[in-house]
Copies of this chain bind each other. A is one copy, B any other.
Amino acid sequence: MATIRDVAKRAGVSVATVSRVLNQNGYVNEETEKRVRQAMKELNYKPSEVARALFKKTSKTVGLIVPDITNPFFPELVRAVEDVMNIYDYTVILCNSDEKVEKEREYIEVLKQKYVDGVILTTNQLTPDEVDEWDVPIVVLDRPFHERYPSVVADNYGGARLATRHLYEMGCRRIAHIQGPMHVVNAVERFRGYQDEMMELGIWEQRLVIQGNYQLKQAKEAVMAALTDHEIDGIFAGNDAMAVGALKAVQQCGLRVPDDIAIIGYDGIPLTEMTTPELSTVSQPIYEMGAIAARILIKQIEGKPLEKIHYQLPVQLMVRQSTSRREQT
C-alpha cells in the first residue's frame, strides 16, 4: 500500500501538498495538482482511513444496532440504511442485540472505540439518561424512545385502529388481538390502538386479548388454545409472523380463513404475500424508515440542522385474501 509520503516523493512535493489536493482545501498550483494526481494514480494511492480517523476522530463509519437481523422485519430496514450510508461514503457495522441491554451497551463501547460517527438504534430498554452519556450522534429507529432523540417510527397506534376497524367492517364482531411482548413499545401502541378502537365500537372484551411474543410458533399455540375457549371471528395479530401462526392454527382446527375467521397482520413483510391465503396486513414503509433514519443521522453528523426531529410515517392497510369475505357493514 502506497502512503502519502510515497506520493509526495514521486510528485516531488511535500506531504502537505498532497494532503491539500486530497482534501481539496488550501491553495495549490494547477500544475502541481496535476503532478500529484498523476502520482496518486500511478501508485494507486488510497489514503488510510484509519490514519485519518485517528486525527479527525471521525471514521466514516456508523453503527446499526438491531435486535436480530434474522427477524424478517429487519433485513429491509438494514438494507435501506446501508444503501443511503453507502451513497454518502459511510460504512455500516451491523450489531445484533437480541434485545439485550447488556449487548447494546457492549456494542456501543466497541463502536466508540472505533470512533464511529453515529449510531442508529432499535431498542427499548435503554434509558435516555444512559444514552446521553454516550456522546455519539444517535437516531432511534422503529420504536419511539425519547423526545430529545431524533426518531423515525411508523404510526403504530393508528395502524392498529385501522386494522381493527377493517375487521369490523368485514363483519367481524369478536375480534381477538395477539399482542407482541409488552416491553416493546411498538407492541404496546398497537395494543392500545386495538383497545381504543374496540371500545369505540362497543365490542371490547378483555378475554379477546391473547399474549404473544412476536414469534410464529408461540402465537400458533396461543391461538390454538384460544379457539377452543370461545368463538372468535377475527384476529388482529401484532405482527406478521404471529399472523402466520394464527393462520396455521386456524387452518389446523379445520376452520377457514377468511370465511370462519379473518386474519390481519402487521408490518407488511414480503412473507405476507407468500401464504395461502395471502395475508392482509398493515404495511409499514420499512425501506423508507431506514432511509430517513440514515439521512438524518448523516445530517446530525455533519452538523447540519434537522428541519424535523421526529418522523412518524403513515402506514397502509393492505387488504388481501385473509380478510376478504362478507359484505361491508
Contact = CB atoms under 8 A, between A and B. Distances in A.
Nearest to A113: B49
Contacts of A247: 276
Interface size class of A (residues with CB under 8 A): 35 or more
Given A59-B50, A113-B46, A115-B50, A75 B83 contact: no
Nearest to A81: B94
Most chain B Cβ neighbours within 10 Å, of A69, A79, A248: A69
Interface string A74-97: 111011001100000101111110
B93 A50 contact: no
A68 B80 CA distance: 11
B275 A276 contact: yes
Given A79-B68, A113-B46, A274 B276 contact: no
Interface of A: 1, 46-51, 53-54, 59, 61, 68-70, 72, 74-76, 78-79, 82-83, 89, 91-96, 109-115, 216, 244, 247-248, 251, 270-271, 274-276
A69 B61 contact: no
Nearest to A269: B72
A69 B72 contact: no
Contacts of A92: 93-94
A112 B70 CA distance: 28
A114 to B, nearest CB: 5
A89 B113 CA distance: 12
Contact of A50 (B54, B270, B274): B54
Contacts of A54: 48, 50-51, 54
Contacts of A82: 69, 94-96
Which 3 residue pairs spanning A and B have beta carbons closest together? Answer: A49-B113, A94-B94, A50-B53
